[in-house]
Amino acid sequence: MNEQKHILSILVENKPGVLSRIVGLFSGRGYNIESLCVAETMDPLVSRITLVTMADTPVVEQIVKQLHKLINVIKVYELTGSSYVQREMSLIKIQAKPEYRAEILRIVDIFRCKVVDVGQEHYTLEVTGDEGKMTAILNLLKPIGIKEIAKTGIIALFRESNGGLKDKD
Amino acid sequence: MKLTGAQILMKMLKEEGVDTIFGFPGGVVIDIYDELTKTDIKHILVRHEQGAVHAADGYARASGKVGVCLVTSGPGATNTVTGIACAYMDSIPMVIFTGQVPTQLIGNDAFQEVDIVGITRPCTKHNYLVKRTEDLARVVKEAFVIAASGRPGPVLIDIPKDVSSTKITYKEPKKIELKSYNPTYSPNMKQLHKAVKLIKNAKKPIVFAGGGVVLSKGSKELTELAHKTQTPVTCSLMGLGVFPGTDRLWLGMVGMHGTYRANMCTGDCDLIVAVGVRFDDRVTGKIDTFAPNAKIVHIDIDPTSIRKNIPVTVPIVGDCKITLSLLNKLLDKEDLGNLKTKRKKWLDQVEKWKRTTPLAYKQKNIIKPQYVVEKLYELTKGKAIITTEVGQNQMWAAQYYHFKKPNHFITSGGLGVMGFGLPAAIGAQLACPGKLVVDIAGDGSIQMNIQEMATAVQYGLPVKIVILNNQYLGMVRQWQELFYDKRYSGTNMEHAPDFVKLAEAYGAVGLRATKPEEVESVLKKGLSSPKTVIMEFVVEREECVYPMVPAGAAITEMLLA
């Protein structure tokens, strides 16, 4: 199987139970969800779901068609294979013994992230970026001692052909 | 105009042209039932909610209209689930109304509360919980549109008690606008041209039709295509009847219990024109050996049916009837050459398969189930509406009753629900009062919804039930005989009620045949009765359905006896 990561951007009606229909479709048909982000768009009647799944080409084709079939789904875009921007945010709580504090702040500087909470024994960092950046910073922080981590999962949008970034919806 | 939710519901049902509802009352639907008596909508009181859904299903399949049922909350609602899943698998248009506890109690584990919208989410085309009486009219209107359009299916509406009892100022719902729901009816012409080219160049084509052709009412167009192109036709179980079972080009059903020639054709053909089918595993057998030499044109209104199970050369999304009639028009403009000579070799081959390996059984001194179905076919001249239960009875009905028209074979194809046939027959009889409706049943499955005998008798419905009694759960027993060294685990049903007395106890007629020479007279007597009749045929206990493709084998590898 040539399983590959696919990012789907799904516009749905902002109604109760819609997310459950989508998640139920994935579990019921044996598709997987790597990450999932949901929030309202500019139009409060519409929500955008950004969903990452691992699947081969015929399966992802089925997934897109099955999603379209749900009455509350307005549009499904597959971003993988076209030009898009993606971001993920993590909150990383890290052990911050005095001897490591300078090192942690150096990493924060290099990766252009922020310290959002400081304690006697820890820092909480806010990191935003694509997957590559996330992996890189985690690899650097692991030896220092990560206590907890919370990730948003990927959100993504098409790049406009003129290079601009707009959210039409 | 001030109306209660229940009154609005009745108004909407009348607008949708509903004349029959199958249901079972309960605490939270009392207001609705109270209003129901003030309309001319016929209510059929079933004996179990599963029966209501199958009856509405049978009604929908026989009439082509939307089936409607009404049940209460909690157990009333959960009892509908099998029937809903069945209708969903077979794409049957249906609207199911369930009562719900009052809105302020939802989530409190109230008496007879269940999250039926959550439970049925994966087995309905769509479902609704109506939280405000103001939304009810719109939701009902939407539900009927969704149920009947595109690839049809069941839609459930959950109505809390207070929503049906609250009085509001009624406003006519606006025109239905479903933002994202827009089924494709007209096919892409470019794809159609590709299909024409393949059909023109094919040497050994077949047409493979399914339930989609029944649903789109495309039987005439399909028959025209087959005759025009001199292409033999096979059907899935769900498609039986869309092509006359007496036609020279008819191959019989394809699949696990398909005819030898139909299955051999799929192995040998160079083109399959598949219409309204979904290439279910019971049709394809081992998927990577299915139709190895064939290009496939696949016409279906549901894009998810295409390329779900098998790769397709030319996918065409569209309504079967519309697509077939456009295809026929395009083919009319083509010079197809002398088809008689062009197809001779292929049709001769098909004929040879038919001659050497027909469907066959030997009637000796014990009644063979196939003989009963064949006699039934003869006596009814192939004109009866046949419903079936599930298992051997269903397969013998499919093999030995040669359907001439669509909407005459009503069977639980996708989900395979034992206990489907009797309530479905009740629904079909209500849809077609003048028609002969026969449920072909086994002794196992008839007992799964036998309580609906009371419904049939109460409403004077002259449905005929043919029980092929082998005192086994026959299909599982067959698998055990063939693949499990005859270890008959859990399939022996030696103890059954006396079906003749049972029929009489329900106020119906009971007849029994134990010898082959009694079959015809029992059938004649039963079929001519104006009452509900059970005809029990004590048949050969260990008869198997042949041909049979073992699970996981190629469709051309059949056990023949």
CB count within 10 Å of CB A116 equals: 11
Does A62 lie at the interface with B, CB-CB under 8 angstroms?
A: yes
Q: Could you tell me if A45 and A64 lie in one domain? A: yes
- Using CB atoms within 10 A of its CB, is residue B184 exposed (0-12), middle (13-18) or buried (19+)? middle
Does A17 lie at the interface with B, CB-CB under 8 angstroms?
A: yes
Assess whether pLDDT exceeds 80 at residue B484: yes
- B487 token code pair: 């270890």
Q: Which residues of chain A are within 8 Å of residue B183 when distances are taken between CB atoms? A: none
Residues B135, B47: Cα–Cα separation, whole Å: 31
Q: Could you tell me if B17 and B107 lie in one domain? A: yes
Q: Could you tell me if B13 and B60 lie in one domain? A: yes
- Choose one of A78, A102, A118: the last residue of a domain: A78
- In Å, how far is A61's CA from the nearest CA of chain B? 9
C-beta separation of B59 from B65 below 8 A: yes
Predicted pLDDT at A162: 53
| Least CB–CB distance from A13: residue in B121, B129, B179 | B179
Q: Which residues of chain B are within 8 Å of residue A59 when distances are taken between CB atoms? A: none
User: Does A20 reside within a domain?
Assistant: yes
User: Does A29 reside within a domain?
Assistant: yes
Q: What domain range includes position B453? A: 369-538
Q: Which residues of chain A are within 8 Å of residue B129 when distances are taken between CB atoms? A: 17
Predicted pLDDT at B337: 86
User: Does A39 reside within a domain?
Assistant: yes
Predicted pLDDT at B176: 85
User: Does A72 reside within a domain?
Assistant: yes
Q: Could you tell me if B228 and B164 lie in one domain? A: no
Q: Could you tell me if A71 and A8 lie in one domain? A: yes
Q: Which residues of chain A are within 8 Å of residue B302 when distances are taken between CB atoms? A: 69
User: Does A163 reside within a domain?
Assistant: no
Q: Could you tell me if B54 and B136 lie in one domain? A: yes
Question: Residue A1's pLDDT band (boundaries 50, 70, 90)?
Answer: low
Q: How many domains does chain B have?
A: 3
User: Does B553 reside within a domain?
Assistant: no
| Least CB–CB distance from A74: residue in B122, B125, B180 | B180
Q: Which residues of chain A are within 8 Å of residue B303 when distances are taken between CB atoms? A: 65, 68-69
Q: Could you tell me if B128 and B210 lie in one domain? A: no
- B18 token code pair: 């509903």
Q: Could you tell me if A103 and A66 lie in one domain? A: no
Q: Could you tell me if B16 and B154 lie in one domain? A: yes
Q: What is the pLDDT of residues B41-94, one digit of tens each?
A: 999 999 999 999 999 999 999 999 999 999 999 999 999 999 999 999 999 999
Does A68 lie at the interface with B, CB-CB under 8 angstroms?
A: yes
| Mean per-residue pLDDT, B104-133 | 97
| CA-wise closest residue to B97 among B171, B43, B174 | B43
Predicted pLDDT at B114: 98
Q: Measured over all CA atoms, what is the biggest interatomic distance in chain B, rounded to whole angstroms? A: 74
Predicted pLDDT at B528: 97
Provide the pairing of β-strand B67-71 with B20-24: parallel
Q: Could you tell me if B249 and B390 lie in one domain? A: no
Q: Could you tell me if B297 and B403 lie in one domain? A: no
Q: Could you tell me if B443 and B505 lie in one domain? A: yes
3-state secondary structure B239-290: HCCCCCCCCCCEEEECCCCCCHHHHHHHHHCCEEEEECCCCCHHHHECHHHC
Q: Could you tell me if B38 and B131 lie in one domain? A: yes
| Mean per-residue pLDDT, B302-322 | 96
Q: What is the pLDDT of residues B361-382, one digit of tens each?
A: 999 899 999 999 999 999 999 9
| Least CB–CB distance from B122: residue in A24, A58, A69 | A24
Q: What is the pLDDT of residues B460-470, one digit of tens each?
A: 999 999 999 99
CATH of the domain at A47: 3.30.70.260
Q: Could you tell me if A72 and A135 lie in one domain? A: no
User: Does B205 reside within a domain?
Assistant: yes
Assess whether pLDDT exceeds 50 at residue A166: no
Alpha helices per DSSP H over B44-187: 49-63, 75-78, 81-89, 116-120, 133-148, 161-165
| Mean per-residue pLDDT, B349-357 | 95
Residues A156, A136: Cα–Cα separation, whole Å: 20
Assess whether pLDDT exceeds 90 at residue B177: no
User: Does B178 reside within a domain?
Assistant: no
Question: Residue B548's pLDDT band (boundaries 50, 70, 90)?
Answer: very high
Assess whether pLDDT exceeds 80 at residue A164: no
Q: Could you tell me if A98 and A122 lie in one domain? A: yes
Q: Could you tell me if A19 and A67 lie in one domain? A: yes
Residues A156, A87: Cα–Cα separation, whole Å: 6
User: Does A18 reside within a domain?
Assistant: yes
Q: Could you tell me if B13 and B154 lie in one domain? A: yes
Q: Could you tell me if B162 and B208 lie in one domain? A: no
Q: Could you tell me if A64 and A128 lie in one domain? A: no
Assess whether pLDDT exceeds 60 at residue A169: no
Per the CB < 8 Å rule, is A69 touching B118? no
| Mean per-residue pLDDT, B29-38 | 97
- Choose one of B356, B391, B407: the last residue of a domain: B356
| Mean per-residue pLDDT, A65-93 | 94
| Residue of chain B minimizing CA distance to A62 | B304
Q: Could you tell me if A96 and A71 lie in one domain? A: no
CATH of the domain at A101: 3.30.70.1150
Please compute Rg for chain A using Cα positions: 19
| Least CB–CB distance from A17: residue in B117, B303, B304 | B117
- B7 token code pair: 């009154």
- In Å, how far is A64's CA from the nearest CA of chain B? 9
C-beta separation of B31 from B5 below 8 A: yes
Question: Residue A168's pLDDT band (boundaries 50, 70, 90)?
Answer: very low
Question: Buried (b) or exposed (e) across B255-291, using 16+ Cβ within 10 A?
Answer: bbbbbbbbbbbbbbbbbbbbbbbbbbebbbbbeeebb
Strand partners, B511: B535
In this structure, of A68-77, B168-177, B445-454, B503-512, the range with the lowest mean pLDDT score is B168-177
Q: What domain range includes position A31? A: 4-78
| Mean per-residue pLDDT, B535-559 | 96
Per the CB < 8 Å rule, is B180 touching A72? yes
Active site residues of B: 49, 111-112, 161, 475
CATH of the domain at B349: 3.40.50.1220
User: Does A63 reside within a domain?
Assistant: yes
Q: Which residues of chain A are within 8 Å of residue B180 when distances are taken between CB atoms? A: 13, 68, 71-75
| CA-wise closest residue to A105 among A144, A149, A161 | A144
C-beta separation of B79 from B48 below 8 A: yes
For chain B, the straight-line distance linking the first and the last C-alpha, in angstroms and rounded, comes to 70
Predicted pLDDT at B392: 98
Write the DSSP string, B345-390.
Answer: HHHHHHHHHHHHS-------SSB-HHHHHHHHHHHHTT-SEEEE-S
| Residue to test with chain B: of A31, A69, A74, A76, most B Cβ within 10 A | A69
User: Does B93 reside within a domain?
Assistant: yes
Write the DSSP string, B299-356.
Answer: EES-GGGTTSSS--SEEEES-HHHHHHHHHHHHHTS----HHHHTHHHHHHHHHHHHH
Predicted pLDDT at B85: 98
Per the CB < 8 Å rule, is B302 touching A69? yes
CATH of the domain at B398: 3.40.50.970
Does A75 lie at the interface with B, CB-CB under 8 angstroms?
A: yes
Q: Could you tell me if A74 and A9 lie in one domain? A: yes
Q: Which residues of chain B are within 8 Å of residue A69 when distances are taken between CB atoms? A: 302-304
Per the CB < 8 Å rule, is A71 touching B122? no
User: Does B403 reside within a domain?
Assistant: yes
User: Does A164 reside within a domain?
Assistant: no
Q: How many domains does chain A have?
A: 2
Q: Could you tell me if A67 and A106 lie in one domain? A: no
Per the CB < 8 Å rule, is B179 touching A17? no
Name the 3-class secondary structure at B80.
coil
Q: Could you tell me if A27 and A67 lie in one domain? A: yes
Q: Could you tell me if A65 and A9 lie in one domain? A: yes
Predicted pLDDT at B340: 83
| CA-wise closest residue to B274 among B235, B246, B240, B243 | B235
Assess whether pLDDT exceeds 70 at residue B233: yes
Give me the sign of the Cα torsion angle B512, B515, B519, B520: negative
| Mean per-residue pLDDT, A96-123 | 93
- Choose one of B139, B169, B199: the last residue of a domain: B169
Question: Buried (b) or exposed (e) across B42-64, using 16+ Cβ within 10 A?
Answer: ebbebbbbbbbbbbbbbbbbbbe
| Mean per-residue pLDDT, A9-36 | 95
Per the CB < 8 Å rule, is A71 touching B121? no
- B90 token code pair: 């077979």
Residue A91 DSSP label: E
C-beta separation of B10 from B40 below 8 A: no
Write the DSSP string, A11-51.
Answer: EEE--TTHHHHHHHHHHHTT---SEEEEEE-SSTTEEEEEE
| Mean per-residue pLDDT, B213-226 | 98
Assess whether pLDDT exceeds 70 at residue A167: no
